[in-house]
Amino acid sequence: MLAMKYLICLLIFSMKLLAQGQMNSPLPAERFYNDREGSSPFIQKKERSLIAEWEDKVSIDQTKEIFQHALSRYNPSNICAYNLMTDLMALSSQYGKPKSFLLALRKNDVIDDIVLATLLKNFHVLNSKITFKYELTMKLGEEEQKVFKEYFPSNPKLNTRCIDESYKVWKAKMNISDRSVRADSIQVAYQENIINYQVFQKLYRTNLANIDKDYVTLRDYLSKKQELRDQKPILPSERTTLIAQKVKGKNSSYRSQLYQRYDVVQIMFLADIINKLQEHLASTKMILQIYNKDETLLRSIELEEMERFRFALKFLRKEMLELSNNAYFFGQSISYMDLISAAFEVGLISTKDIDEVAKLETLWNPRKTLYEKAAVWIRLAGSVGTLLIPPPYGFAVALGLVAIESSAKKSQKIVSPDYSLF
Amino acid sequence: MKFLCLLLISSSLFGKEFPVVIRLPNFKIDIQKKVLVDLESSSSFDGKYFKIVEGTSDEPISFDAPSNLLLKAATTYYHLSFAREYFSQRVQSPKIQKLKKMTIRIDITREFFALSRFANENKPLVYNTATTIPAGVGFPSRGVAPWDMEIWFRPKKAIHIDDLKLRTNLGQIDALFRVFREQVHMMSFQRFMAGVIGQTVNNQSPSAIKTELFWQSSLRIAESSLLMELFYQFRDPLTKLTSRKYFWLETALIPEVIYHEFSHVAMSDSLVLTHDSPVVEGLADIFAVMISGNSKIATNIKKYNTFSGKKAKRKQDYQLQFETSNYANSDFVLGLLWQVKDIIGEELAPRFMFRLSEKLRSSDNIRNQLVKGIRETCEEVCPSPTTQNIQILKSFVIKKM
């Protein structure tokens, strides 16, 4: 009995060591590999010439080797985009421009857009210039000093976070919305010797780049991605441009937004909604059963084809809303593209189907047609025009307006007709 | 030996040129000389696959027939051969590949009767239509021999508009007219109010000329509004006055109608010919347009048809009435299937529609069974079933189905 207890303890201890060992072993380049994104929005005409410039001098194998060499001193627990970018700049600048190097990595799918965006942002941080203001007279309060000391200790061994991670939590604690005021507080912290010059440089530049906007840290991204791949292995060749497109009004893609806003469990919940949608769409029978007070079946109503389709969409929208209100999502509003990105990320939709499944949103959220956008102005101009044209020629304008109204394409929203249950 | 027999048989088939009604690339009609193939007789319209007869006769029409009859016989023979080739090669229908010679009747006015084929002569005569007759076992005790499937083309007869129970599509036009009328009244009102406001402002420095101009303008506004209102209130008699008085349909000279009827033959194993239904007619229509290569049926052919014809691209939403046999000849199902054809592709469409017809029955409805059939066929035949099924269902939702 005692021996059994010792054996179990030994087993748990060795598993812990194994896990730690995995966390401390060097990161293979395969972890960064692009397995989901189609053509990159980062690579346009100008970038293609930069890539060509790089590829003229350096072969793809050499490029990969440079990348792997830089990764050699990092493991899943200490990976840091700022430090990695510093190393990549040092290694790649012997052959060409670091930006060209990064773009070449992306073009050859050695890295994906999320890694590229993170590294590019840190590249801009490293290249930005500090403009010293005149000596500031403001003083930091005790609380503010504490925050600086907590997240940027003078002994670097005490800080296990990467600068982007530290910046994010520091910014939240400081609670200063204005970037220039934050910059001033950083300068004052340096003036008062709360932080040293090295930390000051990093922090000042990071603040200047506003790095936490539309940004996911490498450590966060790689750990979530690995966990998702472990739970739901995917086919390697399934890539799509849809989720790599930039979200309107933001500087990051749908896929990047997914990793920024949600953790692994949340992503699985989101993907499950699309899974249910697909099951409902593929279903060949749906029956509504109505029961009496005494739990005897009163009647069964089999849904028709179109009713099943509309039911599937209604159910999806209901689930989306309920998930938003779920305590685990903390009231975050969930968009349909979040569901699509999550489902594709875990391999629940194929590249063949993703575009069409994504377009389903137009049924309950139609895009306004050109006519609908212009309709207000057409009617206004028409009304004013009729005042200026003498009668009876105003007939022509009225006829024109009617002709435009009847023939113009209007956006179609899903309606549940009276002869249909859904 | 077999080869010699085949040679003998094939050498007994003739080809001969006749004037035939055809469609030009711009969909207008023309009469051109075309070779009719597979003729077994050198003097009549008796071919390997079709025998063209007049009325209730069993004798094939002679090549010496009057020119009007000759044109109908040649046109039906030519287009039926074309349709047969389509079903045999493109659709690869085993039924059509093995089809025995069919009797095609033109200028037949007798009604069909299931027991004796031809209804009593005292029954009202039938014009302006075509119909596919199911095979019958006959009535041997009364001397009525069994018969195979036939296609009957009725002659045209000019019928006055008052005698027709027309189900028109004027509801939509009426709605547009109402909108136009409201626009005109609103315009007139705005103009008048603008004038009143202008007058009020000008009252500070009144002028006799300006006042007189205002009243003249107001009078013209009132006149235009009155004219509009008169047109609106008397629109029905005015429409009748200006529209066509007589209607007719010469089915034997309209290629798409010929294809439509032959399609009924091709689908007759599953879609029996006992009654008209929107699904059956719609499927025959889609084959007709696929064979002709144009989205319209019996339009641009005023000489032989004064009805409005059918258009696959007509924009119309689903209405419950479309399920009834009264609307069997509307083009809603045609439009629906045309959309499906666009989604699955031209190449696959013939086989798709044929597989679909095999899954359906004559009494099936549009909203449920037709849609179910389309989905199931797509699962079997479409290259990307999930994607294409979603596209199909989306297009149906937009049609308010």
> Whole-angstrom Cα distance, residue A91 to residue B221?
83
**Which residue of A lies nearest to B219 if distances are taken between CA atoms?**
A391
Greater model confidence, A236 or B296 = B296
As a whole number, mean pLDDT of residues A335-344 equals 96
Q: How much of chain A, in percent, has pLDDT values that exceed 90?
A: 55
- Average pLDDT, stretch A270-293? 96
A306 touches chain B (CB under 8 A): yes
Residues of chain B in contact with residue A392, where contact means CB-CB under 8 angstroms, are 220, 223-224, 227
B173 interface with A at CB cutoff 8 Å: no
d(CA B139, CA B116): 6
pLDDT attached to residue A416: 80
Q: At which residue do the structure tokens 């051109």 appear?
A: B32
Identify the CA nearest to A420 among candidates B396, B363, B395: B396
User: Mean pLDDT, to the nearest integer, of A331-350?
Assistant: 94
Burial of A90 per CB tally in 10 Å (0-12, 13-18, 19+): exposed
pLDDT of residue B135: 92
Report helix, strand or coil for A59: coil
Rounded CA-CA distance A215/A212 in Å is 5
Using the predicted structure, report yes or no on whether residue B14 has a pLDDT greater than 90: no
Cβ contact (<8 Å) for B184 and A305?
A: no
The model's confidence at residue B191, banded by pLDDT at 50, 70 and 90, is confident
Q: Where are the alpha helices (DSSP H) in A331-419?
A: 336-345, 351-359, 370-388, 394-407
Tokens 């050859």 — which residue?
A: A108
Test B179 with A405 for CB contact under 8 angstroms.
yes
Residues of A in contact with B188 (CB under 8 A): 391, 394
Using CA coordinates, name the residue in chain A closest to B388: A356
The one-letter amino acid code at B236 reads: D
C-alpha dihedral sign at A68, A72, A76, A79: negative
- The mean per-residue pLDDT over the stretch A247-256 comes to 90
Q: Write down the residue that tokens 């991670």 correspond to.
A: A165
Give residue B309's pLDDT: 86
Tell if the CB–CB gap between A306 and B367 is shorter than 8 Å.
Answer: yes
pLDDT category, B201, cuts 50, 70, 90? confident
Output B5 or A243, whichever has higher pLDDT. Answer: A243
d(CA B55, CA B59): 10
Do B224 and A309 lie within an 8 Å CB cutoff?
no
Q: Which of A281, A386, A414 sits opposite B187 (nearest CB)?
A: A386
A391 neighbors B223 (Cβ within 8 angstroms)? yes
What confidence score (pLDDT) does residue A289 get? Answer: 97
C-alpha–C-alpha distance, residues A68 and A29, integer Å: 6
Residue A357 touches partner B, C-beta closer than 8 Å: yes
**Residue A285, pLDDT above cutoff 90:** yes
Q: Does residue B1 surpass a pLDDT of 60?
A: no
A-chain residues within 8 Å CB-CB of B314?
Answer: none
- Looking at the predicted structure, is the pLDDT value of residue B399 above 60? yes
Side-chain-side CA neighbours of B356 within 13 Å: the count stands at 29
Confidence category of residue B242, pLDDT binned at 50, 70, 90: confident
Residue range B130-158, pLDDT digits in tens: 999 999 998 888 888 999 999 999 999 98
| Pairwise pLDDT comparison (B170 vs B374), residue with the higher score | B374
Q: Where are the alpha helices (DSSP H) in A195-302?
A: 197-209, 218-231, 254-261, 264-282
A239 contacts A351 by C-beta, under 8 angstroms: yes
Mean pLDDT throughout B242-261? 89
User: Nearest chain A Cα to B220, which residue?
Assistant: A391
pLDDT per position as a tens digit, A9-28: 787 777 666 666 666 778 88
Q: What pLDDT, in 10s, does the model give residues B16-56?
A: 999 999 999 888 999 999 999 999 999 999 999 999 999 99
- What element of type H or E holds A107? helix A98-107
Predicted pLDDT at B234: 85
Distance (Å, whole) CA B356 – CA B344: 13
DSSP SS3 for A61? helix
- How confident is the model at residue B351, as a pLDDT? 95
In the numeric block, the tokens 């179109």 are attached to A306
Which residue in the set A310, A387, A401 is minimally distant from B190, CB to CB?
A387
pLDDT in tens, B312-370: 999 889 999 999 888 888 899 999 999 999 999 999 999 999 999 999 999 999 999 99
> Which of A240, A275, A301, A306 to probe by mutation at the B interface, max B CB count within 10 Å?
A306
With a cut of 90, say whether residue A303 has pLDDT above it. yes
pLDDT of amino acid B283: 96
Judged against a pLDDT cut of 90, whether residue B181 lies above it is answered with no
CA distance A338 to B236: 56
Q: Do A353 and B384 touch (CB under 8 A)?
A: yes
User: Band of the pLDDT at A387, cuts 50, 70, 90?
Assistant: low
Q: Which of A181, A129, A280 is nearest to B390 (CA)?
A: A280
Please report which residue ranges of B12-138 form alpha helices under DSSP H: 67-85, 94-97
Residues of B in contact with A405 (CB under 8 A): 179
Write down the pLDDT at residue A26: 81
pLDDT tens, position by position, A152-196: 887 767 677 899 999 999 999 888 888 888 998 999 999 888 888
A303: left (phi over 0), alpha (psi -120 to 50) or beta: beta
Q: Looking at the partner chain, which of B190, B318, B390 has a beta carbon nearest the beta carbon of A356?
A: B390
The pLDDT assigned to A149 comes to 87
A45 touches chain B (CB under 8 A): no
Q: Is residue B392 within 8 Å of B129, Cβ to Cβ?
A: no
Element (DSSP H or E) covering residue A290 = strand A287-291
Q: How far is B334 from chain A (nearest CA, A)?
A: 18
**Dihedral of alpha carbons B238, B243, B246, B249, sign:** negative
A354 touches chain B (CB under 8 A): no
CA distance B14 to chain A (A): 51
Chain B: closest CA distance from residue A413 (Å)? 7
Say what the pLDDT of residue A61 is: 94
Residue for token pair 């490029």: A63
- For residue B285, which of B308, B300, B252, B263 has the smallest C-alpha distance? B263
Cβ-based neighbour number of residue A296 at 10 Å: 7
Main-chain dihedrals φ then ψ at residue A300, nearest 5 degrees: -115, 135
Tell me, yes or no, if the pTM score tops 0.95. no
Mean pLDDT of chain A: 88
The per-residue pLDDT for B188 is 81
- Residue B69 in contact with residue B106, Cβ under 8 Å? yes
Lowest mean pLDDT among A90-94, A176-180, A356-360, B367-371: A176-180
